[in-house]
Structure 1
Amino acid sequence: MEQATTTARDVAASSAPARQGRPGLALAAVCLGFFMILLDGSALNIALPAVQQEMHGSISALQWVVNIYTIPLASVLLTAGNISDRWGARRLFIWSLVFFTGASLLCALSSSLGFLVGARALQGVAAGGLLPTTLAIIARTYPDPVERAKAITLWGATGGLALVAGPIGGGVLTELLGWRSIFLINVPVGLVTIFLTVRYASETQTRAAKSLDLAGQIVGVIALSSLVAALIEGGALGWSAPLTLGLVALAVLGIAAFFVIEKRSSHPMLPLAIFRRHAFTASITNGFAFQFGGYGMQFMLAIFVQEHWHLTAAQTGVLFLPFSISWVFGTIVLARRLVSRGPRWLLWTGATASLIGALLVLGISDESTWPLLAVGTAFVGLGCGVFSPSLNAAALLSIDPNFTGLGSGVLNTARQIGMAVGVALLGAFVAIQDTLLGTRLGMALVAVCFLTIVVLSVRYVPRKER
């Protein structure tokens, strides 16, 4: 068992209530930070064609703009949790906010796609530091379990609000002020969030954490980046191109090396023993499939309707409103009312609704079929809203209670990897010469993802929470 060690300052911080007696403002800071990192992705999807038009980039370049944010975010999540234990969640949250705000300003000032991709990479690293610290700060701010549960509910609702605000806000901002405003708005919001955190949030307790698995971290980033790059460049250059084949080989070698390192490491970033439980492995696969289908679909369809149907960014945002609103309704209303049925029931019923929606979207053709797209994506959003809150519950039911933090970290990492791979692969489909055929093939793959969740949930996920 790890021995907790604290400094005098940490002891004082951990024994005191939230600074200035304003826990609500500390919660507001955490929710604003969480809102920023979720809003950024959903708003940018709508603005990507505008970025492409100004920067004269290809579909593969747009995939990099999205994935260069997701890859580092996914890669540093587990390590960020370890750093938070050593440094304190509040301190890591503040510094991550500083870097995220600065990187957002760099994105807004980008003069080329290469500059934008580099700034987005910095954003992704900062977001990877923000995400795992939010719940730790909430737990410190609200020691009472009832109050903490209410705070976490508000935190979760923030994610739903970002999902609704992203498409419509991104469309309106792009139309009125240009795509750069999507990043520029993060600057004042980030500064307000930093102020609230410094003034009102209390530091979490620090402890002597395990040694950092630097070798696993570096090789894991190389493996994931090579895999996503192979999918992106394969769609742009061809699957037999030397660069594509080289990236595939590097990804395979990197994945193999990563598992060897984790098996031999005394303090592995990802202990492989946790995958011996089939139910946990199924839950991690579900998390990957969810993010691949739900978020990869949004990227692909946003490109499709603006390039093939010639919709504006604002029109695209409106078209995605049924998807976003039904997702929030499924999460805040249905999932909360039906939670007593257990995670397995919520997973398979929600994924079934999303599967129906994906199959409906398969029928789209020209712009006259927009009602079919709106209804189909609404079903996808409703289903995702119902089952996505149960992904964590299902994963934690399937793992030793002593490793719940690790299990949650692995699940969130798998989800972010699913998003990166989904954007890369579905982007390759929409980039083929027959855009409609590629979109339909992509939606068929999205349907397979939701079908996988149905099957694995029925087969492996326990009926009720312990």
Structure 2
Amino acid sequence: MTALLAPARTAWSARAWAIYLGWIVITLDGSALNLALPRIAEDLNAHASGISWVVDAYTLPLASLLLLGGSLGDRVGAERLFRIGAIGFAAASVACALSPSIGLLIACRTAQGVFAALLLPMVLALVGKSFNDPGQRSSAVNLMTVFGGAGMAAGPFLGGLLTDTAGWRAVFWLTAPIAIAAAALVGAADRPRTRQSRPRFDWAGQLIGTAGLVAVVAGLIEAGRGTSPALTWALLVAGVVLLVIFVLVEHRSPAPMMPLSVFRSPGFTGATVGGFAFQFGAYGLQFFLALYLQAAWGVSALTGGLLLAPFAVGIVASSVFANPYLLRRGTRQMILVGSAAAAAGTLLLLATTAAEWWWVLVIAEFVIGAGTGIYSTALNKTASTSLGADSAGLASGIYNTARQVGQSVGIAILGALAALADSRAGFIAAIALITCCAAAIAATELRPRTAALA
């Protein structure tokens, strides 16, 4: 009855625009900031470790608090938490722009990461809650991919342009009005659960799960730096132990934050595994190539950025031209087609043995991006709908946590391969790992199935 009485929404409604703007804020922030880092270091007299924390202080809370954000959204309402996350992110962005020192900038970046962890899972949760019609829901998920790809493509250009013309602070001013617009457009909150209908808050699960994720992600960040192997292993071991305890606590809890029963859904489990492999492979590849092209080919940072742009162009192209047709065929076919294209593009990279083969790199990047745009749309759709509207926040929190941890693992491992003295051996090993990621995504749809995903 609630679904019948809910206002009809289309993929171009105000609520839909809130979703797209919330998605593009997260994408644009990271891709635009990278080119501003050298200028930040110069203006604020920051050492290399301080500059790395400008990135890591955002990544750590984002990856660690997504699960908490997702479960909170199901308790207080996705719209309400989306608005809190967007307004908080905007305020933290303004504080970053006004920061007079590297220490204060790092603190404000931490606040950005916390509010991003509230905002990001609500983006996918709102897709599942806002569109009752499967066709409209598919269009909205696909348009998210379009806007995300556009943000990824425009981010480096805008970041470089703003840094060179208005200064690095303008990069933070860029995202603040977008986040405010998203908060304004999200609309009225749905009626929250009554106190009687809300599950008891799982304090033990929240604290242990968050601590475990913080330790694992911090260990992966430290592994990427390669400065302290002892600290890296201590953090990783502690994180794994805490996450094992978390699973045991959730198994015994009468009202778990993350009911283990959610993984009985083959579609959701497949999407979660696919999300991990997606971020490891697709975003890990971009990180690896950014280092490899400068070290092995001797290109400038700007040239390297231009050589990587076809990846984002491919995402947008497949979302605009292929996905409207493929979405009618179902997510299973999209995942198989997209992962096959991404694997083919990755293997094509093996032909780029020197800088004169740059045109092969461009083609391969475009093909990988096109495949990524296809399968990521299917993964997003499955993750946002497979557990139902009442658990949309939890589903999105788990899925996005898997993605962010996958990205951290990918950067740590592929960063180490990029630093090998034998750059060609590192390149081949990286390509092999990334191809395995595409194969893992395909494997999530090759298992025996009881029902096809819509």
TM-score in terms of structure 2 length:
0.82
SS in 1 for 2:189: coil
CA distance in 2, matches of 1:117, 1:133: 25
Q: Among residues 223, 230, 245, which one is paired with 1:234 in the alignment?
A: 223
What CA deviation, in whole Å up to 9, does each residue of 1:299-328 have, x standing for no partner? 232233345545445433322221111111
Q: Among residues 170, 187, 192, which one is paired with 2:176 in the alignment?
A: 187
CA 1:142–1:414 in 2, change beyond 3 Å: closer, same or farther? closer
**Residue 202 (1) aligns with residue 191 (2):** no
Q: Among residues 119, 137, 155, which one is paired with 1:166 in the alignment?
A: 155
Letter in 1 for 2:253: S
Alignment-derived partner of residue 411 in structure 2: 423
CA 1:28–1:231 in 2, change beyond 3 Å: closer, same or farther? closer
CA distance in 1, matches of 2:452, 2:136: 24
CA distance in 1, matches of 2:415, 2:102: 17
Q: Equivalences for 1:78-117 in 2 at 5 Å?
A: 78-110=67-99, 115-117=104-106
SS in 2 for 1:369: helix
Alignment-derived partner of residue 346 in structure 1: 334
Q: CA-atom RMSD, angstroms?
A: 3.7
Alignment-derived partner of residue 266 in structure 1: 254
CA 1:52–1:227 in 2, change beyond 3 Å: closer, same or farther? farther
CA distance in 2, matches of 1:229, 1:460: 37
What CA deviation, in whole Å up to 9, does each residue of 1:84-120 have, x standing for no partner? 3444434333322222112223333456655444332
Q: Among residues 369, 382, 387, which one is paired with 2:375 in the alignment?
A: 387
Asked if the contact 1:137/1:204 (under 8 Å) is kept, the reply is no
**How far off its partner does 1:65 sit?**
4.3
Asked if the contact 2:142/2:377 (under 8 Å) is kept, the reply is no
Letter in 1 for 2:193: R
CA distance in 1, matches of 2:447, 2:134: 33
CA distance in 2, matches of 1:246, 1:277: 34
Alignment-derived partner of residue 411 in structure 1: 399
Q: Among residues 46, 64, 74, which one is paired with 1:75 in the alignment?
A: 64
CA distance in 1, matches of 2:296, 2:39: 14
SS in 1 for 2:322: helix
**How far off its partner does 1:384 sit?**
0.5
**How far off its partner does 1:449 sit?**
0.9
Report percent identity of matched pairs.
Answer: 38
CA 1:384–1:304 in 2, change beyond 3 Å: closer, same or farther? same
**How far off its partner does 1:38 sit?**
1.7
CA distance in 2, matches of 1:444, 1:307: 20
Asked if the contact 1:76/1:217 (under 8 Å) is kept, the reply is no
Pick which of 332-341 and 131-140 moved more: 131-140
Asked if the contact 2:139/2:324 (under 8 Å) is kept, the reply is no
Pick which of 222-231 and 395-404 moved more: 395-404
Asked if the contact 1:46/1:316 (under 8 Å) is kept, the reply is no
Letter in 1 for 2:155: G
**How far off its partner does 1:236 sit?**
3.5
Letter in 1 for 2:162: L
Q: How many residues align?
A: 445
Letter in 1 for 2:270: A
SS in 2 for 1:270: coil
CA distance in 1, matches of 2:72, 2:392: 17
Alignment-derived partner of residue 124 in structure 1: 113
CA 1:224–1:80 in 2, change beyond 3 Å: closer, same or farther? closer
Asked if the contact 1:353/1:379 (under 8 Å) is kept, the reply is yes
Asked if the contact 1:97/1:126 (under 8 Å) is kept, the reply is yes
Pick which of 86-95 and 257-266 moved more: 86-95
CA 1:404–1:304 in 2, change beyond 3 Å: closer, same or farther? same
Pick which of 143-152 and 285-294 moved more: 143-152
Pick which of 309-318 and 338-347 moved more: 309-318
CA 1:44–1:323 in 2, change beyond 3 Å: closer, same or farther? same
